[in-house]
Amino acid sequence: MTDQTTAVTGGRAHGRAGGQAGGGAAEPRDEPDRRADAKPRNNRAWLLVLPVVVSVTFTALIPLMTVVNYSVQDIFSPNDRIFVGLEWFRAVTRDPEIRAAFLRTLLFSAQVLLVEIPLGVAIAVAMPRRGFWVSVALVVVALPLLIPWNVVGTIWQIFARADIGLGGWTINHVLGIDFNYTLDSTDAWLTVLIMDVWHWTPLVALLAYAALRSIPDPYFQAAQIDGASAWATFRRIQLPRLRGVLTIAILLRFMDSFMIYTEPFVVTGGGPGNATSFLSVLLSKIAVGQFDLGPAGAFSLLYFLIVQIVSYVFFTVLTRTGR
Amino acid sequence: MPDWMVWTPPTALVFTGLALLLCVMAVWARFSPPVARRGFLRIETDRGDRLYIGLISAAVVLAGWIAVTDLSMWLALACALLVAVVIGIWG
């Protein structure tokens, strides 16, 4: 307590000294020494972080520790459990179904990135830069982002249905292509992929649009004077400016698509067969459906490890782009 | 600790170890503040960053090990700790 009081007084004294120095503007004499001595060391601001610490402890840390505990035991009931060491991790990493789901999720994320990033940039480039249509374009592009995940799933579940859905019916009866996402695994995959593209390309487009808007007009005027083609303008002026936001967009979209759950759960439920059972869908089946806490715990931790690594890369990139 | 957390001695030991490690890092930072620098990871890290990267890398080594080989996990642990130490010192 005494320490804190001294520290606060020290801080105030330093503030006053700073004010005086600012007024006189010609007294740099013993400034460095005083700063080193009287630097305010009031750590009470840490108390403001306490609510976050408490809520994270209860919503994340304690559940995570419990999951770790689950992952090393075979649990029949709270009083009837056996320690099995790392056996569940061995079983989970070698399970063909889980390995297939892992590859499937990676493939899905790769396809999502391959489609959404170029498409988002194309939309951003095509969007108007000024005038009345800017607002219209922004609202239209942002609309899918405002819809909750399960509603997106429901919309597409009905839209893609061959009998009553507008999209599914059109493909079957107007284009004459046999399309049924409840029976055909390719159709189901495409439905989920196109749904994700519809839902999340706007995010990439808006990020890219914001970056493009920040390019000063003289760049484009110079390009015009030099007689640069539209492609050269894009390649040499716009694309370099997009580097930062595209890195963020790629990481965000990778994370989200790698953790996708609600939409495929609502549209296909992971089917037909295993065609769209991504890691999260399979995990919830094991954890909540079969109530196999041990394997589900081990599975979650490995899944968490991957997400954790990508998050850290994301965090590092995000904090370093500012520098 | 509540019963529903179904603690086991090994997991309790691991978490106690991690908590102690964080305490040691906090005390160490109090007496000698961490300095950010660049190592073979090519990004600017201080010792806390390297501890985190080291622990995550150790976890990756353990997970990879158990996925591909039946050799002893103690050997895996040794490799994982080695990785963490190398990152901690030269990362």
Q: Could you read off the pLDDT of A63-87 as tens digits, one per residue?
A: 999 999 999 999 988 788 999 999 9
CA proximity to B7, closest of A67, A301, A87: A67
The distance of B53 to chain A (nearest Cα, Å) reads 9
- Region A222-232: mean pLDDT is 92
Residues B83 and B41 in one domain: yes
pLDDT at A37: 54
Residues B22 and B59 in one domain: no
Q: Report the C-alpha gap between A93 and B58 in whole angstroms.
A: 17
Q: Is the pLDDT of residue A31 over 50?
A: no
* Between A316 and B21, the higher pLDDT residue: B21
Instruction: Report the DSSP beta bridge partners of residue A80.
Output: A77
The distance of A192 to chain B (nearest Cα, Å) reads 30
Partners of B73 on chain A (C-beta within 8 Å) are: 86
Q: Is the pLDDT of residue A160 over 70?
A: yes
Partners of B11 on chain A (C-beta within 8 Å) are: 65, 68-69, 72
Using the beta-carbon criterion (under 8 Å), do A72 and B66 form an inter-chain contact?
no
CA proximity to A250, closest of A310, A187, A304, A195: A310
Residues B24 and B51 in one domain: no
Residues B21 and B48 in one domain: no
Residues B27 and B49 in one domain: no
pLDDT at A322: 54
Residue A23 banded pLDDT, cuts 50, 70, 90: very low
Residue A40 banded pLDDT, cuts 50, 70, 90: low
Using the beta-carbon criterion (under 8 Å), do A69 and B56 form an inter-chain contact?
no
- Region B16-26: mean pLDDT is 95
Partners of A72 on chain B (C-beta within 8 Å) are: 8, 10-11
And the tokens for A250?
């790629």
Whether B69 and chain A come into contact, CB under 8 Å, resolves to no
Residues B50 and B65 in one domain: yes
Half-sphere exposure of B2 (CA within 13 A, CB side): 7
Residue A10 neighbours by CB under 8 Å, 6+ apart: A37, A38, A39, A40, A41
Whether A70 and chain B come into contact, CB under 8 Å, resolves to yes
CB-closest option in A89, A90, A316 to B43: A316
pLDDT at A202: 96
Partners of B4 on chain A (C-beta within 8 Å) are: 66, 78
Residue A30 neighbours by CB under 8 Å, 6+ apart: none
Q: Is the pLDDT of residue A4 over 60?
A: no
- Region A265-285: mean pLDDT is 91
Provide the 10 A C-beta neighbour count for residue A164: 9
Alpha helices in chain A (DSSP H): 2-24, 31-38, 50-56, 62-71, 87-94, 96-126, 132-142, 149-159, 166-169, 185-213, 217-225, 230-233, 239-258, 262-267, 279-284, 293-321
Q: Report the C-alpha gap between A89 and A85 in whole angstroms.
A: 9
Residue A38 banded pLDDT, cuts 50, 70, 90: low
Q: Which domain holds residue B85?
A: 37-91
CA proximity to A188, closest of A106, A273, A109, A259: A273
Q: Could you read off the pLDDT of A283-300 as tens digits, one per residue?
A: 999 999 889 999 999 999
Triad A311, A312, A314: Cα angle to 5°: 60
CB-closest option in A90, A93, A305 to B59: A305
pTM summary value: 0.81
Q: Report the C-alpha gap between A310 and A316 in whole angstroms.
A: 10
Residues B26 and B44 in one domain: no
Radius of gyration of chain A (CA): 28
Whether A236 and A229 have beta carbons less than 8 Å apart is answered as: no
Residue A127 banded pLDDT, cuts 50, 70, 90: very high
Q: Average pLDDT, whole number, for chain B? A: 92
Residues B51 and B19 in one domain: no
Which of A61, A68, A92, A304 should one mutate to test binding to chain B, selecting the residue with the greatest count of B CBs within 10 A?
A68
Residues B21 and B53 in one domain: no
The distance of A44 to chain B (nearest Cα, Å) reads 16
And the tokens for A276?
């769209």
Q: Report the C-alpha gap between A275 and A290 in whole angstroms.
A: 20
Whether B1 and chain A come into contact, CB under 8 Å, resolves to no
Q: Is the pLDDT of residue A305 over 50?
A: yes
Task: Please tell me the total count of domains within chain B.
Answer: 2
Q: Is the ipTM of this complex over 0.90?
A: yes
Q: Among A24-38, A118-132, B7-21, whose mean pLDDT is lowest?
A: A24-38
Give the residue carrying structure tokens 């390309």. A201
Residues B62 and B91 in one domain: yes
Whether B73 and chain A come into contact, CB under 8 Å, resolves to yes
CB-closest option in A83, A86, A320 to B73: A86
Q: Could you read off the pLDDT of B29-85 as tens digits, one per residue?
A: 989 998 888 889 888 889 999 999 999 999 999 999 999 999 999 999 999 999 999
- Chain A, chain B: beta-carbon pairs less than 8 Å apart: 51
- Region A135-155: mean pLDDT is 93
And the tokens for A127?
């969007």
Residues B43 and B11 in one domain: no
Using the beta-carbon criterion (under 8 Å), do B43 and A62 form an inter-chain contact?
no
Whether A172 and chain B come into contact, CB under 8 Å, resolves to no
And the tokens for A266?
């609502």
Using the beta-carbon criterion (under 8 Å), do B4 and A78 form an inter-chain contact?
yes
Q: Report the C-alpha gap between A315 and A319 in whole angstroms.
A: 6
**B67 → chain A, closest CA residue:** A93
Q: Which strand (E) or helix (H) includes residue B10?
A: helix B9-31
pLDDT at A320: 74
Q: Could you read off the pLDDT of A239-269 as tens digits, one per residue?
A: 998 988 998 899 899 999 999 999 999 999 8
Residue A181 is classified by DSSP as T
Partners of B59 on chain A (C-beta within 8 Å) are: 305
Residues B85 and B63 in one domain: yes
- Region A203-212: mean pLDDT is 95
